[in-house]
Structure 1
């Protein structure tokens, strides 16, 4: 039975889409999760997908809070994610400082949009124990929310939201990059086999390397994103200039975990137990290869 791979239909997933076009459903099928990582985690929990390509911080936070429905099996995007801070077209907010103490829109609890609000607060030295959120499910709900005044702002990946800003539906008032590599790969530890997951990661690695090669960055990968997502060429080229992918999707530096947990703990999102976490709680060590000798964090 083909693996069910959950993903968010954004330009980051272009190598995955190219892999899917070649595979034609023989070893995996794609399950779109438009609400983001929170929805991906929910579908892993509810046996609706087997593998998720999702944002680093919500995945790690979920395991740190006790989830047993998935473990990390690999890496997908190694560069930071540029999160835009977006407000309504006619709102009174003009910079990040203006939204302190207001209600921030998020897609759902535990999502990247919520975690990054904590990171934004930390960077600006705001108290994090009284942040206020409103759940708006997806990008359409979030944009409606900042325009009807029920929220002041929301956070989403910069280039994904730029078309809405260019169309005059919303405004950028700042940006916050993630202090960790942006995308990881997780799999359910009992509904999948190490062999199947490893085979998927090997195939994905081939398409990632082809997509991110200098030759492809100079033209074919730009054209693919333009055709699939309708983004202006100058935006695609700007994104391609900064994005980086792993040499091997089945490899992962363990310091990604330590760095992410440190920030999440500072934000009050997770609590690190005395003595630290056991890496085996976070990684499927039958699949992923860690390039560090550490055994706990």
Structure 2
């Protein structure tokens, strides 16, 4: 039995992995796939990849590309979610903020530097025509930390996946002022160079299995109810999310890699970009 460590956020995007594990699909191929939830998100996952604390990660495209540009020995082995991620822009319901333009020059809560919440704050600022040099941040680690920081006034707003954060909005803890979609496919499957070098054939098996599950995922009977129950979501929210989400079974394109690096370069978030050839691994 080949043991493989994999990490990802504890969100509904990753249910296909859990179903495949629970149904023994990986074990049938001689693979012990050990999943660990990382609620801190992409910044923490980049660190774990760099420290060889995991073999694979389901991770935000822009975050891992920034980390690779900074020297992380990782490759993208496949696109996972082909659709954009819809980032909700949230404030405390007790705050005086009622409109997005009021957040100009205010402090953003972020899970970590280099995380999606950090990078997307720059994308949102650029979309709004704000001076990105004026952005300031409060590191909060995870969603619970963001709730605390916003309620205590240590930060003014927090960007996180809209549907994951919706229950907190429904409870009246957060108020959502708007959305900011990523301009590219949001999640990829990343592997350390060391894992690829030592286990490329096993990696092919992993991809074959997860691609089978994601290809059929939306056609599973009552999958909307399963998602709503497992992730504490309203059924209508899950149905809307499912309608907007597309899983992928293909490698991410070189054009997308260049597009992400164009944005990271424009925002001065990377000093030296990588070519698509340097960051993509062809499993065939």
Question: Aligning the two structures, in what range does the TM-score lie when normalised by the shorter sequence?
Answer: over 0.9
Q: Structure 2 residue aligned with 1:140, among 144, 157, 160?
A: 144
Q: Say yes or no: does 1:16 pair with 2:39.
A: no
Unaligned runs of at least 5 residues, structure 1: 290-297
Q: Is the 8 Å Cα contact of residues 20 and 26 (structure 2) preserved in structure 1?
A: no
- Residue 24 of structure 1 deviates from its aligned partner by 7.1
* Residue equivalent to 2:128: 124
Q: Distance in 2 between matches of 1:220 and 1:2?
A: 32
Q: Say yes or no: does 1:96 pair with 2:100.
A: yes
Give the match's secondary structure for 1:34: coil
Q: Distance in 1 between matches of 2:78 and 2:269?
A: 23
* Residue equivalent to 1:233: 235
* Residue equivalent to 1:115: 119
Q: Structure 2 residue aligned with 1:200, among 181, 203, 206?
A: 206
Q: Is the 8 Å Cα contact of residues 79 and 243 (structure 1) preserved in structure 2?
A: yes
- Residue 272 of structure 1 deviates from its aligned partner by 4.6
Q: Is the 8 Å Cα contact of residues 167 and 232 (structure 2) preserved in structure 1?
A: no
Structure 1 segment 73-92 matched on structure 2, within 5 A: 73-92=77-96
Structure 1 segment 177-256 matched on structure 2, within 5 A: 177-192=181-196, 193-212=199-218, 215-216=219-220, 219-246=221-248, 248-249=249-250, 251-256=251-256
Unaligned runs of at least 5 residues, structure 2: none
Q: Distance in 2 between matches of 1:89 and 1:240?
A: 27
How many residues are paired up? 277
Q: Distance in 2 between matches of 1:42 and 1:23?
A: 29
Give the match's secondary structure for 2:52: coil
Q: Distance in 1 between matches of 2:17 and 2:78?
A: 14
Q: Is the 8 Å Cα contact of residues 2 and 25 (structure 1) preserved in structure 2?
A: no
Q: Distance in 1 between matches of 2:226 and 2:80?
A: 18
Q: Is the 8 Å Cα contact of residues 7 and 32 (structure 1) preserved in structure 2?
A: yes
Structure 1 segment 50-69 matched on structure 2, within 5 A: 50-68=55-73
When normalised by structure 2's length, the TM-score is: 0.93
Cα-Cα RMSD:
1.5
When normalised by structure 1's length, the TM-score is: 0.89
- Residue 129 of structure 1 deviates from its aligned partner by 2.0
- Residue 111 of structure 1 deviates from its aligned partner by 0.2
